[in-house]
Structure 1
Amino acid sequence: MSSKIGPTEAVQPFATSREKRAFIRKYWALYVISLPGIVYFIVFKYFPLFGSVIAFQDYNIFKGIAGSPWVGLEHFQRMFAYPEFLTILKNTLLIGLYDLVFAFPIPIVLALLLNELRVMAFKRLVQTVVYMPHFLSWVIVGGVLVGIMSPETGIINTILGFFGIEPIYFLGENEYIRSILIGSGIWKESGWGTIIYLAAIAGINPDLYEASQIDGAGRLRQTLSITIPSILPTIMILFLLHIGKFLDFGFERVFVFLNSLNSENGEIIDTYVYRAGLIDRQYSYTTAIGLFKSVVGLVLIAIGNTLSKKTTGEGLY
């Protein structure tokens, strides 16, 4: 009788502490490798959570958390009673919704298209080109796009001038800022987002495609009937992760394009927290805003995970 431990036996609860110690000694290298990640999350993710208590205080940096007076839910009431914050919350929700509707599907489509390329040299070239913007900082991306959209020297307005159209100051009008934010994000991150989808596609059993070819299925039918259903669990996991940061659109992504002329439609919670918290030193108020944003993200993940498990059987937990 073989003494080899099967896959199902390896995940069974330990009967004794001796078995547990033997298991740890056997896989000690994996525990050592995981330590930096564990320390990172403890120091930078979990430990700062204790600072969220100042959302319920009138925090004073000289008195500290222990000496600052408690004010209960005053900052949360102020947050929802402040007209400017409600406008900013609306902007954040709309921009997050646009990003979910327009930006999230692009990496999926791009991965499907890249998967159809048969000339490997050309495929690698295309992948490199679409990946490269990811490695540029938002400061560089902002500088490039500001130059492209300049009303005097920008290439877009130069082309419009050939058709007799007056120059448009894209970053000086509220109606364009949301499209600029979403479009720049698609250009910068879509290529990088295809990596996980291409890896999922590579894991599909080739026998499925061979069987479909025998049945006379073309490339489009194979994509619709095999590729997309096979990567659907991956799509759902990334979708859940995306809605978890629905209100966390990104400070740098917006700040480089924001100015007094487009802030009515462009300012989001992150830029408002920077202005009210760091510049105006309203620490308790902005902590309350951050706590509210985290709770909303947690609720969205819980709802999305429940719906995903009921519809596809896949979830984060």
Structure 2
Amino acid sequence: MKTSKTMSSYLSIAAKGILMGAADSVPGVSGGTIAFMTGIYEELIFSLKQCGVSALKKLFQEGIKATWQHINGGFLLALFGGVIISILTLSRVVLYLLNTHPILLWSFFFGLILAAVWSVVRHIEKWDIGVITTFVVGTAAAYFVTTISPTTIETSGFVVFLSGMIAICAMILPGISGSFILLLLGMYAPMLTAVKELQLATLCIFAAGCAAGLLSFSHVLSWMFKHFKVMTLALLGGFMLGSLNKVWPWKQTIESVIDRHGKEIPLVQHNILPHSFESLHSQPAYMWYAIALMLIGILMVIVLEKMGQKPADH
């Protein structure tokens, strides 16, 4: 895999990382979806796979420069630099919109993910029974995950580490939201608080869990792409389609809890139609605005696809 790039190419990668970070901050949207749409997904998985035992051997035998090239270090630094910048800055804007204009934000992401399904499955040239079955299984699995009620567990160092491992694996899977996995584990609010308050000890433990998850799971994904690429694409496309259940804009809250700040946190929600939403909540459904934002999300996928199709500089 060619990895030599120009400064403008690294800036483009960093921008994609910023988009991934913003997406990962929302429960229901995956940064892996953004990576796939922008054409960097396979390079991301390949580069992460390189950061293992082979990299350590390379470091001791050939030095830092050879190791940096071996792991595609420039690409990873630019991408995860963008992700970190986004989580510390842009994600605050996304979370603000999630609190103040949820219907409009979910509408945008609904259109984006819906178009992303096409972005993935269009690479499948032949649909046989095996591919169709894999797509259906992926759809059903993601749908099932979105119906699970969040739990509450006691925060400890081990739980934070384990949460990082599990969430990061979800984050690099298109269609499976790492933030939603944290929500299911009861760790979304604690980790968001840790980011806002810069609780370095907690963040370091979480980062260590993320690193362990990335290094292990990337080998699995790389193997799947190498030996079963079509099936893997079908599975990822199914994950995206099934995840749409989570990002449907209009919902009825069936069960909720009050957090320590006095804020109501929905636990169980059902999807409803816009007119039902207006009747239940006595609030406008903003249907036409929502449709417009869905179309903008679809258009953004087309733009990201164009970005991903540009030949890499080398």
- The bucket for the TM-score relative to the shorter chain is under 0.3
- TM-score under structure 1 normalisation? 0.25
Higher RCO structure (Cα 8 Å, ≥6 apart): 2
- TM-score under structure 2 normalisation? 0.25
Larger Rg: 1
